[in-house]
Amino acid sequence: MKIKLIPIALAGMLFFASCGENKTQETAKKAEKEQVETSDEKDFDYLLEEFADIKVLNYDIPGWDELSLKQKKYVYYLVQAGLEGRDIFWDQNYKHNLKIRKALEKIYTTYEGDKSSEDWKNFEIYLKRVWFANGIHHHYSNVKFNPHFEKDYLKNLLEETQTELEEEILEVIFNEEDSKKVNLDSSKGLISGSAVNFFGPDITADEVDEHYEAMESPNPDKPLSFGLNSKLVKEGGKLKDLVWKSGGMYGEAIDKMIGWLEKAQEVAENEQQAKALGLLIEFYQTGDLQTWDDYSVAWTKATDGDIDFINGFIEVYDDPKGYKATFESVVQITDFDMSEKMQIVGENAQWFEDNSPIMDEHKKKKVVGVIYKTVNVAGLGGATSPTSPIGINLPNQEWIREHEGSKSVSLGNIIHSYSEAGGSEMLQEFAYTKEEAELSKKYGEVADNIHTTLHEVVGHASGRLNTGVGEPKQTLKSYASTIEEGRADLVGLYYMRDPKMQELGLTDDYKKLSEAGYNDYIRNGMMTQLTRIEPDHDIEESHMRNRAWISHYVFEQGEKENIIEKKVEDGKTYFVVNDHDKLRELFGKLLREVQRIKSEGDFEAAKNLVENYGVKVDQEIHKEVLARNEKIKTAPYGGFANPILTPEKDEDGEIKDIKVSHPKSFAEQMLNYAKEYNNLPDEN
């Protein structure tokens, strides 16, 4: 899945197992008494809670009451399957995360001492940040959190609540060990410098490459995703994959997931959905990567019905080597009105490919099966919770995308919640003129939706690899993710300023639309996204890197013609687009080169582009941005608490309806999840 994320402060500025059913019902009955059901849009409270640099939002499920009981059951079972995999993602993020979380939660729920002190308040914030990030490293910057309280204070809390936490792990919370979840600086060791729990100790990056490159797919034209669903360790001096499957690593959680997926299969809307679910269940039972590909193809072809889902080990962003995938789950309901409006982009996918500025030899002769829908999310899990994407395109296997097609979705209710909870302070502070800010207010949300659509539907589906060139994770290595995301962004940027947008009825003025979109993108790539970087740190996250290297590259290339101008007034820096037509040309030229890099597997060119333009931060600009941002109250990051799906049962124990309610607090939902979906040992 290729994801485009929007930090909350920038929304509007950027282009944007039956065995588990009884316990869940008991919790649901309690929740039903404590929650207030929300169905009226006017009374819906999007903001649940705010702390540190985080906003936790609610999202509603439009159209829920229009679903049949069978459809509601289908959604409910799929959501439960996703939640059962929650602890997998925690453990993938860091080997000590589960132990730390359980210790912190015990303190939080049993401590009877002074809760008015600054230390306790900081402890609460630290725990909430850990919950939000699914571990002790920041969800976006990958840097380990500073607790803002002393080690002795935590020791005292552990003693008073009779909570056990090994000294070694206690020290990690406060020292410099495992300071980065994902390190992409090869000079610091891609694996040794990363805290993610995908590799055993003393394994080098070269050993990882040699191990997986020695594996051969039965069909070279349909390469298997070796390493996708396993942890690589050394036993007796030899490398071995510990496969995530029933009876294997994470088997306890996977068995629970299988139970719910089997229930979902019984109430699937059609045979295509049931077939895909059967293959997914088989994949979890066996860990077989050929079955994963078979499932991916079946899932891609399952286009009928109102409900769809994403469930599996999918994205490799958190593996510095690009092999290992994190667990994630999204359950979604089609928004038919918006899907009809935006489907036109998918219907014209071949036109976009034919008219792309990339080289002819890199174009697909026939773009197949690009399915686009706007959907409303009904449940998030794993790597998509609490932070959620706003757009998704799957599957990731290049050969499936080329021969079988792909599905793209825009998460309508997620985008809406971001928009409703966002603020305009950032725009007012960093836009150069009032006119620039007003243009963004008028066209920013539309530009965001169109750019997301172009990014997911056209961008990720476009282009082809040269014959004989390996998958990007093999050729471009640690730069594969940011190159792919940047390539898709460039497709969206290029076509945003095409008259075709207006011809297709997507906007009333493509020039004003693109001007707002271009202004917002450059402003973010050059300045505002730096609010999410700690002082003296490099840019690490793949999406942030791609926005940086795109923006800095076109700024430099257009410097002689003053296409983008750096202005400093009253001690404040602004980046102003003077010529949007010429900027589009630069986006097109860069897209041509980035597609060449991917198609040819040019590692050195990818490295040079990213390292020269997307990693290092101008320290003076950074200091200024942070200082200006201190005046702004809106938190730079947003994520979501999930709606609570509560089954109502008749006298025979059969589900007669499922109600939607919302949590009263972030802590309430996190503690409930810790109790109900506590499926894994502390060490895995």
Mean pLDDT for the stretch of residues 342-364 = 93
In the predicted structure, residue 42 carries a pLDDT above the cut 90 = no
Tokens 């800010």 locate to 437
Tokens 């020290």 locate to 171
Q: Which two three-digit tokens encode residue 682?
A: 């502390």
Tokens 């935590």 locate to 154
Confidence (pLDDT) at 422? 65
Confidence (pLDDT) at 159? 98
Q: Report pLDDT digits (tens) over 279-305.
A: 999 999 999 999 999 999 999 999 999
Q: Report pLDDT digits (tens) over 603-624.
A: 999 999 999 999 999 999 999 9
What are 30-35's contacts with CB under 8 Å, separation 24+? 31/644, 31/646, 31/661, 31/672, 32/646, 32/659, 32/661, 34/664, 34/668, 35/644, 35/661, 35/662, 35/663, 35/664
Q: Report pLDDT digits (tens) over 149-170.
A: 999 999 999 999 999 999 999 9
Which of 28-42, 197-211, 255-269 comes out lowest in average pLDDT? 28-42
- Tell me if the bond preceding 386 is cis, omega within 30° of 0: yes
Residue 287 to residue 277: CA distance in whole angstroms: 15
Flag whether the pTM goes above 0.85: no
Confidence (pLDDT) at 410? 87
Q: How confident is the model at residue 415 (pLDDT cuts 50, 70, 90)?
A: confident
Give exposure, 228-267, as e/b (b: 16+ Cβ within 10 Å): bbbbbbeeeeebebbbbbbebbbbbbbbbbbbbbbbbbeb
- 19 Cα distance to chain centroid: 30
In the predicted structure, residue 24 carries a pLDDT above the cut 60 = no
Confidence (pLDDT) at 680? 97
Q: Quote the mean pLDDT of the chain.
A: 91
Kindly give the residue spans of alpha helices, DSSP state H, lying in 289-395.
289-301, 336-347, 349-354
Confidence (pLDDT) at 29? 35
Please report, for residues 67, 124, 329, the alpha-carbon distance to residue 55 in angstroms, rounded to integers and kept in the order given.
Answer: 30, 15, 21
In the predicted structure, residue 36 carries a pLDDT above the cut 50 = no
Confidence (pLDDT) at 359? 97
Closest to 419 in 3D by CA, of 133, 59, 660: 59
Confidence (pLDDT) at 386? 98
Higher-scoring residue by pLDDT: 520, 374: 520
SS3 state at 637: strand
